Amino acid sequence: MNRDKAPIRRGVVRSLAAAACVLLAAALAGPAAGASDDANRAAARAEAQHLIDETPLPAGAVPQDTSPAPVLDHSTQGGPLDQDTTLDRVAWWTVPVSTSDYATYLAANAPADLTRSGSAYGTVTDGHAGTSVSWTEQDFSGTDTKAYTTPELWLTWTAYDGGTAVRSEVYIGARWPRAADSYVTGPIHRVDVRIHQASDPVTGAGKRLSASYTARGKVRRLRAAFNGLLGDLHNEGAGLIMSCPDIRLTTTTVVFHLLHGHVVRVRELAGCVASMQVWRDGRRVSPPLDPSGFAERVAAIAK
């Protein structure tokens, strides 16, 4: 199989840049009202169906109840996994055009609200017929929100009965609503930052940074980076990691010391899939947060 993007699947494919451009004003404002678990689930389900409905199909496309070609039985990305909060939606069609013509049609009719995020192609052998069957895949990504993680649309097609069979798969995950007491509000006395960037995953050897900040500019930026984080994927760990090309060896800990005596501690743990936990005055705050982009922003601020 040839792929121009190494996939990382964690219940849902996570964009490494997700949540990096949250507005500063919104981050400083603290918790947003109205977020609910049920609303997030409903939004994720609605977006999954919207992307299936948005699958580019030329005239004459015929929906299929099951996979029309064995090579399209399963996703090239792994799975399937279909839960109430971690959604995998699949649909199939046959279209009366060649595979090359479908590729041309797709290039001219790609969903306007999605961006191309990768492509792949490969060949499998039919064990019964002893013949090789080729397939092509084009991946698209949407925009993550406070309700759900980055939606992914994977289109795979192969030659079938004089035309083409198309598989459309959507993967998306509902987020936990962020807890109100997970935000840092009020005056801050000091922020402690500890970064351990390991160069060896076995020994833990590597660079360490330990510093404290009281300057208003840095404190404000650190608070904004933290308050801008979103709730994590609802079914943490329920997915399938297909590969781990960019294993994270950095552990980032940030401690906010508030003037009124409270302490908020947040830690992003190293690993193939990063995770973030928050403690307030020594009490663990649930649910966890999506750490996407946080370590990078903290490192940039700490320079």
**Mean pLDDT on 76-88:** 54
pLDDT of residue 201: 58
Beta partners for 188? 258
Cα separation, 120 vs 135, in Å, equals: 8
For residue range 269-290, list pLDDT tens digits in order. Answer: 766 666 789 999 999 998 889 8
Nearest in space to 74 (alpha carbons), one of 130, 122, 41, 34: 122
Q: Which domain holds residue 52?
A: 41-173
Which residue type does 204 have? G
> Do 223 and 131 fall within a single domain?
no
pLDDT of residue 172: 87
Boundary-marking domain end, from 173, 189, 219: 173
Q: Is residue 57 part of a domain?
A: yes
pLDDT of residue 129: 55
Phi-psi region of 34 (alpha: psi -120 to 50; beta: other; left: phi over 0): left
Cα separation, 172 vs 54, in Å, equals: 15
For residue range 31-57, list pLDDT tens digits in order. Answer: 444 468 889 989 999 999 999 999 999
> Do 206 and 289 fall within a single domain?
yes
> Do 146 and 69 fall within a single domain?
yes
For residue range 109-167, list pLDDT tens digits in order. Answer: 999 999 999 888 888 876 555 678 899 999 999 998 999 988 999 999 999 999 999 99
Nearest in space to 195 (alpha carbons), one of 213, 183, 179: 213
> Do 47 and 152 fall within a single domain?
yes
The residue ranking higher by pLDDT, 87 or 184, is 184
Q: Is residue 5 part of a domain?
A: no
29: Cβ contacts below 8 Å, ≥ 6 apart? 227
Neighbours of 244 (CB within 10 A): 13
Q: Is the pLDDT assigned to residue 2 strictly greater than 60?
A: no
* E-state strands within the chain: 2-3, 9-10, 12-13, 62-64, 86-95, 115-125, 132-141, 152-160, 163-173, 188-198, 206-213, 230-231, 250-258, 263-269, 275-280, 283-290
pLDDT band at 292 (very low <50, low <70, confident <90, very high): confident
pLDDT of residue 104: 97
pLDDT of residue 235: 57
For residue range 196-252, list pLDDT tens digits in order. Answer: 877 665 566 678 889 999 999 999 999 999 999 999 887 543 443 344 545 556 789
**Mean pLDDT on 54-64:** 97
Cα separation, 25 vs 224, in Å, equals: 8
The residue ranking higher by pLDDT, 184 or 247, is 184
Q: Is the pLDDT assigned to residue 266 strictly greater than 90?
A: yes
Q: Is residue 85 part of a domain?
A: yes
pTM of the model: 0.73
**CATH number, residue 140:** 3.40.1000
Cα separation, 138 vs 153, in Å, equals: 8
> Do 168 and 211 fall within a single domain?
no
Mean pLDDT for all residues in the chain: 80
Boundary-marking domain end, from 133, 156, 173: 173
pLDDT band at 94 (very low <50, low <70, confident <90, very high): very high
pLDDT of residue 260: 85
Total domains in the chain come to 2
pLDDT of residue 115: 94
pLDDT band at 82 (very low <50, low <70, confident <90, very high): very low
Q: Is residue 294 part of a domain?
A: yes
> Do 98 and 157 fall within a single domain?
yes
pLDDT of residue 89: 85
Q: Is residue 3 part of a domain?
A: no
Local structure of 72: helix, strand or coil: helix
> Do 196 and 223 fall within a single domain?
yes
> Do 226 and 269 fall within a single domain?
yes
> Do 118 and 194 fall within a single domain?
no
The residue ranking higher by pLDDT, 211 or 4, is 211
